[in-house]
Amino acid sequence: QLQLQESGPGLVKPSETLSVTCTVSGDSISTPDYYWGWIRQTPGKGPEWIGSIYFSGRAHYNPSLKSRLIISIDRSKNQFSLRLTSVTAADSALYYCARQSEVEIDYWGQGTLVTVSS
Q: Compute the least distance from the CB of residue 45 to other proteins, in Å.
A: 7
Q: Is 90 helix (H, G, I), strand (E, B) or coil?
A: helix
Residue 108 makes contact with other proteins by CB under 8 A: yes
Residue 33 makes contact with other proteins by CB under 8 A: no
Q: Compute the least distance from the CB of residue 99 to other proteins, in Å.
A: 11
- Phi and psi angles of residue 90, each rounded to the nearest 5 degrees, phi first: -65, -15
36 closest CA partner among 85, 90, 73, 83 = 73
**CA distance linking residue 55 with residue 17, whole number of Å:** 24
Q: Compute the least distance from the CB of residue 60 to other proteins, in Å.
A: 5
Residue 70 makes contact with other proteins by CB under 8 A: no
- CA end-to-end span of the chain: 39
Residue 32 makes contact with other proteins by CB under 8 A: no
Residue 112 makes contact with other proteins by CB under 8 A: no
Whether the CB-CB separation of 13 and 114 falls below 8 Å is answered with: no
Instruction: Give me the residues that bind other proteins (CB under 8 A), please.
Output: 35, 37, 39, 45-49, 52, 60, 62-64, 96, 98, 100, 102-106, 108-111
